[in-house]
A and B are shown apart, each in its own frame.
Chain A
Amino acid sequence: DSGVTQTPKHLITATGQRVTLRCSPRSGDLSVYWYQQSLDQGLQFLIQYYNGEERAKGNILERFSAQQFPDLHSELNLSSLELGDSALYFCASSRLDSQPQHFGDGTRLSIL
């Protein structure tokens, strides 16, 4: 058990909809990272938050947004969903920047 909790585990929705994925980092970890894992793109870094502030941005679409709350949990919001957004979304956390990241089990998003 990595200590990183992601909910829900599975999400099925339709094109055009909006969903929110939630991540609770390990106790004491200040950094939260979001990744998308798909068959064709592999594992891609989306965005990082550190102690509530956006720290780094990767290949995140404009339809996607994230935030980290004062209690350090994070949410990834995906809107105007397309079939190609179907993927596994992982959250990871680390105590500080650049420390080894601990991954959650992921949320599998299926767009019908």
Chain B
Amino acid sequence: GDSVTQMEGPVTLSEEAFLTINCTYTATGYPSLFWYVQYPGEGLQLLLKATKADDKGSNKGFEATYRKETTSFHLEKGSVQVSDSAVYFCALIQPYTGNQFYFGTGTSLTVIP
């Protein structure tokens, strides 16, 4: 079945460090891929998405590229801020054959000044 695997956390970085959170997926066909972010005490917010191979999603300095050859959608940011501290979820959905979102387990990021 379809699934998403994220790198284990927690991740702790200093401000202005480079961030990579790995995400790989298992799915048939051409799923759409998403990154959601959950700030403390809040619901999940869509961060970025990509709907086809080689698409790059970007938002708020975060980027992720849909790599079909490696079935990956790694999240990157060149310079993290304290305000980026949150839990990040990778997710996929099959646009035409299913309605269920498959979420990864989440990666907790803490950025220290």
Contacts and interface: CB of A to CB of B under 8 A. Distances in A.
Interface string B1-40: 0000000000000000000000000000000101010000
- The number of chain B residues touching the other chain, given as a range, is 20 to 34
- The number of chain A residues touching the other chain, given as a range, is 20 to 34
Contact of A106 (B34, B43, B49): B43
Interface stretch (B63-71, B73-81, B97-105): B97-105
B99 A42 contact: no
Nearest to A31: B99
Contacts of A45: 100-103
Interface of B: 32, 34, 36, 41-46, 49, 89, 93-96, 98-103, 105-106
Given A98-B96, A100-B46, A105-B42, 11 more contacts: A43-B44, A43-B103, A43-B105, A43-B106, A45-B101, A90-B44, A92-B43, A97-B99, A100-B34, A102-B46, A103-B44
